Amino acid sequence: MATHKETAKEIVLKIGGRENVDQVWHCVTRLRFNLQDKNKVKLDEIKQIDGVMGAQFSGDQFQVIIGNKVAEVFEEVEPLVGVGGSSNSKNREKQGGISRILDTISGIFTPILPALVGAGLLKGFVALFITFGWFSSKSDTYAVLNAIGDGVFYFLPFFLAVSAARKFKTNEYLALAIAGTLLYPTFVDATRGITDISNFTLFGLSFVSIPVVNYASSVLPIILSVLLLKYVYKFIRSWMPSSITVMFSPLLALLIVVPLTLWLIGPLGTNIGNGLSQVFAWLFEHAGPVAGLLMAGLMPLIVMTGMHYTFAPISIQNMSLYGFDNVLAPTMFISNLAQAGAAFGVALRTKNKELRQLGISSGISAVIGITEPAMYGVNMKLKRPFYYAMISSGLLGAFAGWYGFKAFTMGGLVGIFSIPTFADPSGEAGNLIVALVMLALAIILPIILILIFGFEDIATEDQTSGVGKVEKGLAEAASTITSMEGESKTADVFSPLTGKIVPLKDVSDATFAQEIMGKGIAIQPADNRVVSPVPGIIMVLPDSQHAVGIKGDDGQEILIHIGIDTVSLRGKHFKALVKEGDRVISGQPLIEFDRDAIQAEGLDSVTMIIVTNTADYLDVLPVNEKGQIFEEEQLLSIVK
- Residues classed as catalytic: 27
- Amino acid making up residue 619: D
Cα 617 from Cα 613, distance rounded (Å): 8
Nearest residue to 11 via CA among 258, 389, 21, 196: 21
The burial of 203, by beta-carbon neighbours within 10 Å (0-12 exposed, 13-18 middle, 19 or more buried), is given as exposed
**Residue 344: which H helix or E strand, with range?**
helix 328-349
Q: Burial of 29 by CB count in 10 Å (0-12 exposed, 13-18 middle, 19+ buried)?
A: buried
Phi-psi region of 466 (alpha: psi -120 to 50; beta: other; left: phi over 0): alpha
Taking Cα atoms as reference points, which of 316, 275, 274, 315 lies closest to residue 295? Answer: 315
Secondary structure E strands in 291-447: none
Q: Are 21 and 15 in contact (CB under 8 A)?
A: yes
Query: Which residues, 6 or more positions from 281, have their beta carbon under 8 angstroms from its beta carbon?
Result: 318, 322, 326
Beta strands in 474-518 (DSSP E): 490-494, 499-502
Residue type, 242: S
Q: Which residues contact 326 (CB under 8 A, 6 or more apart)?
A: 280, 281, 284, 318, 401, 404, 405, 406, 407
Listed in sequence order, the DSSP H helices in 369-495 are 372-374, 380-382, 384-403, 430-453, 461-464, 469-483
Cα separation of 405 and 434, whole Å? 7
Tell me the longest C-alpha to C-alpha distance in the chain. Answer: 99
User: Of 315, 454, 467, 482, whose CA–CA distance to 382 is shortest?
Assistant: 454
